Amino acid sequence: MSEKLPGWKDIPIGGMILEAGNAAKYETGTWRSSKPIWDPDKCIHCLQCWIYCPDSSIQVKNEKMTGIDYFHCKGCGLCASVCPDKVQAITMVIEET
């Protein structure tokens, strides 16, 4: 891995990040041990999951939930736990390798 990364002469000093928003390029989905599975048929689009997701991984279009961004989702399970009890549109399943 270290062969591909730039050396000390080629990176900004002091650990500074000079490009705004480049965390989007960083894949955190590989950290997941369980995966949220969304059932569009059950979903009532209350967007509680969108509010609580710490990784901005709930995808929304025109105020409707459209899916989950698995490139960034770390599998914390918050979305499943805040999805209303009567709805339960998100289930956490163990991640298979």
Partner 1 sequence: MKRVVAYTGNEVAAEAMRQIEPDVVAAYPITPATEVVQAFSGFVSDGLIQTEMMTVESEHSAMSACVGAAAAGGRAMTVTAANGLALMWEILYCASGNRLPIAMTVVNRAMSAPINIHCDHSDSMGARDSGWIQIYSENAQEAYDNLIMALPIAEDKNVLLPIMVCFDGFIISHSIERVELLEDKEVKDFVGEYKPQFALLDLEHPKTFGPLDLQDYYIEHKRQQHEAMKFVPDAVLASAKRFEALSGRKYGLIETYKLDDADVAIVVLNSAAGSTRAVVDKMREQGIKAGLLKIRMFRPFPAELIAQSLAHCKAIAVLDRCDSFGAQGGPVAHEVRSAICNLPKVPKVIQSVYGLGGRDLNIEDIVDVFGDLKKVADTGKVEKVFDYITVRS
**What is residue 59's three-state secondary structure?**
strand
Can you tell me which residue has the tokens 């409707």? 64
Distance CA 50, CA 79 (A): 7
Distance CA 37, CA 35 (A): 6
Quick check: 14 binds partner 1 (CB under 8 A)? yes
For residues 44-73, which are near ligand SF4 according to CB under 6 A?
A: 44-49, 53, 55, 57-58, 65, 68, 73
User: Under a CB-based contact definition with an 8 Å cutoff, are residues 20 and 50 in contact?
Assistant: no
User: Under a CB-based contact definition with an 8 Å cutoff, are residues 1 and 59 in contact?
Assistant: no
Can you tell me which residue has the tokens 């009532």? 44
36 binds, among ligand SF4, partner 1, none (CB under 5 to 8 A by kind): ligand SF4
The interface region with partner 1, picked from 9-17, 25-33, 44-52, 53-61 by CB under 8 A, is 9-17
Can you tell me which residue has the tokens 């591909």? 4
7 binds, among partner 1, ligand SF4, none (CB under 5 to 8 A by kind): partner 1
- Whose Cβ is closer to ligand SF4: residue 10's or residue 63's? 63
Quick check: 7 binds partner 1 (CB under 8 A)? yes
Contact set with partner 1 (CB under 8 A): 1-2, 5, 7-8, 11, 13-20
